[in-house]
Amino acid sequence: MTPADPTDAELLARFRAGDAAALDPLFARYEEPVFRFLFGVLKDHHEAEDALQETFVQALRRADSVAGETFRGWLFTVAYRQAMLLKRKAKRLPAQADPLALLGLVGDEPADRKASAADDARQLHELLNLLPEAQRAVIAARVFDGKTFREVAAALGCPLNTALARMHDGLKKLRQLWEARHA
């Protein structure tokens, strides 16, 4: 960072004042060091990318509440927590899972619970169609196509922080629609 570059605190203040583009230089500043840190912890390139994306999603969600002077340390703490979540998740997953069990077609789960899950999935797809196209496109690309946020942003021709914001806003709206339907 050169003396002319804005500080983390300045960039966060601009973001809080409504300048969504202020997150671009902030994320660009920390993308490589946080990725290297995550790769060192996880020892897997793809997992480090996933953890990096989730770290930035958390940063976007909580950008209003973190102090600019402590942003760097806070970001690395979030990254570490994301890495630990991935490690715990990997320990819980069976090494050789039966594809039918993963699809919920066999197993100990009662038929009525499977039917309920299928109904929930149908309702979720209906609610997804109520979202604005930009949010729906990001969610579909990330969740259904398994693309990274960087790939989503490139495919949609938008900045990374825009893709992250659309995902965040879309999921928030989806949660609100779900809760309204089930209230």
> Dihedral angle at the C-alpha atoms of 154, 157, 160, 164, nearest 10 degrees?
-110
What is the rounded average pLDDT of the residues 124-150?
84
Polymer length of the chain = 183
Report percent pLDDT > 70 for the chain. 84
Assigned token pair, 8: 């983390």
What is the rounded average pLDDT of the residues 70-77?
93
Average pLDDT over the chain, rounded to whole?
81
Tell me whether residue 108 is in a domain. no
The letter for the amino acid at 60 is: L
Handedness of CA 149, 151, 155, 161 (dihedral sign): positive
Contact 82, 54 (CB under 8 A): yes
Contacts of 167 (CB under 8 A, 6+ apart): 57, 135, 138, 139, 142, 149, 152
pLDDT at residue 102 is higher than 60: no
What is the rounded average pLDDT of the residues 75-81?
93
Confidence category of residue 19, pLDDT binned at 50, 70, 90:
confident
CATH number of the structural domain spanning residue 150: 1.10.10.10
In whole angstroms, what is the distance from residue 22 CA to residue 25 CA? 6
C-alpha to C-alpha distances, 155 to 57, 148, 165, nearest whole angstrom: 18, 10, 16
Question: Are 84 and 122 in a shared domain?
Answer: no
Tell me whether residue 3 is in a domain. no
Domain range holding 133?
A: 113-181
Tell me whether residue 104 is in a domain. no
Question: For the chain, percent helix, then strand, then coil, each to nearest 5?
Answer: 75, 0, 25
Question: Are 86 and 126 in a shared domain?
Answer: no
Distance of CA 60 to the CA centre of its chain: 9
Contacts of 125 (CB under 8 A, 6+ apart): none
pLDDT at residue 106 is higher than 50: no
Which tops the pLDDT comparison, 85 or 60? 85
Give the range with max mean pLDDT: 43-47, 101-105, 148-152: 43-47
Tell me whether residue 1 is in a domain. no
pLDDT of 81 reads 93
pLDDT at residue 27 is higher than 60: yes
pLDDT of 3 reads 61
